[in-house]
């Protein structure tokens, strides 16, 4: 594996064990084996080939990505109400965070690494977008997001915008990362309000990242840390096989 | 090939190497795309009343139960890995095949003309089993089916691109009626392709020697099967 796992909430031993089990038995090629009666002897090789293709798809998508191309926007009448909740846990398990003590930790290739408070973040100029959230599962919902463009935040904290990645860690153990061109896209947002109200717990209070040019799982909620790096930080679902770039 | 009773009959080249290679690569690509597509469908069924889910034993994307146990997700990750790898095989092979078919004149010679009257005539004849198989010549119903499946794969690719890149290719997605509409079109293309495969395999079962022809490229010209039509 060339992709590194971020040393995060889950211990690396557990992740490694899961990874090994997934490699060994995950690609049993059930249908293929059943239908043809042949035995796929090297399942790891099949999985490695698929992962290599996924990394190739990362490169193709980075090449296809036009930094000035905007995701379609919609009128208020198109808003999805109620807006679908989605996470790797049920809605009532979403982390309850105290906005007053919350801090956004900054690290990596950033000039000013002082943690940000919610009050500071709310004081920055904000923008509103009505865009479509598209899930890898196939469903989509249209939401109204208000927040600070990530681009202006990165510039304000003196982030090295020539670096390759922006990594994100969440209060619920989730993590993900963006390529720098997407982080600098005009619609990529540090969202603090949803549907004209304070961002509700179920949608990522106090801050989520909203990336309308990527699949929904690339818009992590409950952000607690942001870092700029040249080492691929990976992601929660990315470590489980979802394509890393997942651009729309 | 082993000797058979027809080995003395004259043989003609029906399917050139490029056509045969493209056919079998396409068969593999369709297998991968449909198998993994069914698994992806299960994450968010498009017609839950009609098809709530595809039995995961007949889908492609790794061990469903293990994935669910470890990750709480029904093998969608593995299915998308297959789908986004298989799409390259499908598209590149399809482009090679279409370019070859157009440049060589094979499409014009073998797939045209498409005349409703001939299609109706051959369809009625086929239903009453009075339609003879002519070596190297497609009857009007076959021509319609092959042109039809080429169209279905074309739309499967276009709607797939619209789903994959609804921002970078948003004009295409808009043309197909938006993201969810493009998903439905993609699904319907799959249904059409699967129906084609069923009919295609049934016809191969009725005239098994066509299978050998698609492997070796050669067909024995049997007196009974030699047609007089161009």
- B164-179: pLDDT as tens digits: 999 999 999 999 999 9
Distances (CA, A) of B174 to A127, A149, B180: 25, 26, 10
Domain residue limits, chain B: 14-111, 116-212
Q: Which residue has the tokens 């003609």?
A: B12
Q: DSSP readout, A30-72? A: HHHHHHH------HHHHHHHHHHHHHHHHHHHHHH--TTPPPP
Yes or no: say if A237 and A217 are a contact pair by the CB < 8 Å rule.
Answer: yes
Give the residue from chain A lying closest to B163, CA to CA.
A248
Out of A26, A28, A31, whose CB is closest to B58? A31
A→B contacts (Cβ < 8 Å), by residue, are 18, 21-22, 25-32, 34, 49-51, 53-54, 57, 64-66, 69-72, 88, 132, 134-140, 212-213, 237, 240-243, 247-248
Q: So what's the pLDDT on residue B51?
A: 94
Cα of B200 to nearest chain A Cα, Å: 18
pLDDT averaged over every residue in chain A:
87
For residues B33 and B164, is the Cβ–Cβ distance under 8 A?
no
* Residues with Cβ within 8 Å of residue A187, at least 6 apart in sequence: A70, A71, A129, A131, A149, A210, A211, A212, A213
State which residue of chain B sits closest to A70, comparing Cα positions: B167
Identify the H or E element spanning B117.
helix B116-127
Q: Are B93 and B25 in contact (CB under 8 A)?
A: yes
Cβ distance A64 to B72 less than 8 Å, yes or no, reads no
Residue A21's pLDDT band, with cuts at 50, 70 and 90, is very low
What residues in A contact B30, CB-CB < 8 Å? none
Of A48-57, B69-78, B216-225, the least confident: B216-225
Contacts of B71 in chain A (CB under 8 A): 18, 240
Rounded CA separation A33/B76 (Å):
19
Q: Of B56, B62, B167, which has the smallest distance from its Cβ to A26's Cβ?
A: B62
Q: Do B35 and A242 touch (CB under 8 A)?
A: no
Residue in B38, B62, B176 to test binding to A, most A beta-carbons within 10 Å:
B62
Which tokens in the block code for residue A32? 């293929």
Contact partners, residue B225, CB within 8 Å, separation at least 6 = B132, B133, B134, B135
Asked if A54's CB is within 8 angstroms of B84's CB, the reply is yes
CATH 3.90.420.10 domain span(s) along chain A:
74-85+100-240
Q: In the beta sheet, which residues pair with residue A210?
A: A189
Q: Are A159 and A110 in contact (CB under 8 A)?
A: yes
Number of CB pairs < 8 Å for A and B?
A: 108
Q: Specify the pLDDT at position B73.
A: 78
Give B137-192 pLDDT, tens digit per residue. 899 999 999 999 999 999 999 999 999 999 999 999 999 999 999 999 999 999 99
Could you tell me the two tokens for A74? 């919609």
Q: What is the DSSP letter of A22?
A: I
For residue B183, give the chain A residue with the closest CA.
A138
Q: Are A146 and A192 in contact (CB under 8 A)?
A: yes
Chain B residues bordering chain A (beta-carbon distance below 8 Å): 35, 40-41, 43-44, 46, 56-60, 62-64, 66-67, 70-73, 76-78, 80-82, 84-85, 88, 165-168, 170, 174, 179-180, 183
Whether residue A214 contacts residue A187, with contact meaning beta carbons closer than 8 Å, is answered with no
Is CATH 3.40.1110.10 what the domain over A74-85+100-240 is classified as, yes or no? no
Neighbours of B220 (CB within 10 A): 19
> CA Rg, chain A, in Å?
19
pLDDT in tens, A109-164: 999 999 999 999 999 999 999 999 999 999 999 999 999 999 999 999 999 999 99
* Residues of A whose CB is below 8 A from B40: 137-138
Can you give B138-201 as a three-state secondary structure string?
Answer: CCHHHHHHHHHHHHHHHHHHHHHHHHHCCCCCHHHHHHCCCHHHHHHHHHHHHHHHHHHHHHHH
Residue contact B44–A32, C-beta within 8 A:
no
- Across chain A, the runs of DSSP E, i.e. the strands, are 103-108, 116-117, 127-134, 140-149, 165-170, 175-179, 189-194, 197-198, 208-210, 223-229
Helices B209-216 and B179-206, packing angle to 10 deg: 110
B70-116 pLDDT, tens digit per residue, is 777 789 999 999 999 999 999 999 999 999 999 999 999 999 999 99
């Amino acid at each position: 594996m060339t992709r590194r796992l971020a040393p995060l909430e889950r211990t690396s031993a557990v992740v490694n064990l899961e990874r090994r089990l997934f490699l060994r038995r995950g690609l049993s090629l059930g249908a293929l084996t059943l239908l043809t009666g042949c035995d796929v002897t090297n399942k790891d090789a099949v999985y490695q080939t698929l992962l290599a293709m996924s990394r190739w798809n990362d490169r193709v998508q980075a090449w296809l990505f036009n930094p000035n191309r905007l995701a379609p926007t919609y009128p208020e009448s198109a808003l999805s109400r109620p807006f679908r909740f989605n996470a790797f846990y049920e809605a009532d398990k979403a982390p309850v965070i105290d906005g007053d003590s919350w801090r956004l930790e900054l690290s990596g290739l950033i000039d000013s690494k002082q943690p940000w408070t919610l009050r500071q973040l709310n004081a920055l100029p904000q923008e509103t977008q009505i865009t479509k959230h598209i899930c890898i599962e196939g469903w989509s919902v249209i939401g109204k997001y208000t927040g600070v463009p990530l681009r202006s935040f990165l510039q304000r904290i003196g982030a090295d915008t020539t670096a390759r990645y922006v990594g994100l860690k969440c209060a619920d153990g989730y993590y993900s990362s963006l390529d720098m061109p997407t982080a600098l896209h005009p619609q990529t947002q540090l969202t603090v309000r949803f549907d004209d109200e304070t961002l509700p717990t179920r949608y990522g209070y106090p801050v989520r990242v909203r990336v309308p040019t990527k699949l929904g799982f690339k818009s992590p909620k409950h952000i607690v840390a942001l870092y700029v790096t040249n080492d691929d930080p990976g992601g929660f679902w990315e470590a489980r096989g979802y394509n890393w770039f997942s651009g729309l | 090939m082993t000797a058979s009773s027809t080995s003395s009959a004259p043989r003609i080249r029906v399917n050139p190497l490029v056509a045969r290679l493209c056919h079998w690569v396409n068969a593999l690509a369709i297998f991968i795309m449909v198998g993994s597509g069914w698994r992806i469908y299960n994450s968010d069924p498009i017609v839950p009343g009609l098809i709530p889910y595809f039995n995961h034993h007949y889908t492609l994307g790794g061990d469903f139960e293990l994935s669910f146990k470890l990750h709480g997700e029904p093998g969608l990750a593995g299915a998308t890995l297959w789908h986004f790898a298989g799409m390259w095989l499908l598209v590149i092979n399809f482009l090679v095949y279409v370019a070859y078919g157009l440049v060589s004149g094979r499409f014009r010679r073998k797939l045209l003309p498409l005349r409703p009257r001939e299609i109706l005539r051959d369809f009625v004849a086929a239903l009453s089993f009075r339609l003879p198989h002519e070596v190297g010549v497609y009857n009007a119903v076959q021509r319609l089916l092959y042109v039809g499946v080429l169209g279905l794969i074309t739309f499967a690719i276009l709607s797939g691109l619209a789903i994959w890149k609804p921002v970078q290719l948003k004009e295409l997605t808009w043309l197909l009626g938006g993201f969810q509409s493009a998903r439905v079109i993609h699904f319907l293309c799959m249904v059409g392709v699967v129906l084609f495969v069923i009919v295609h395999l049934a016809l191969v079962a009725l005239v098994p020697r066509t299978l050998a022809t698609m492997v070796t490229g050669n067909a024995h010209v049997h007196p009974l099967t030699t047609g007089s039509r161009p």
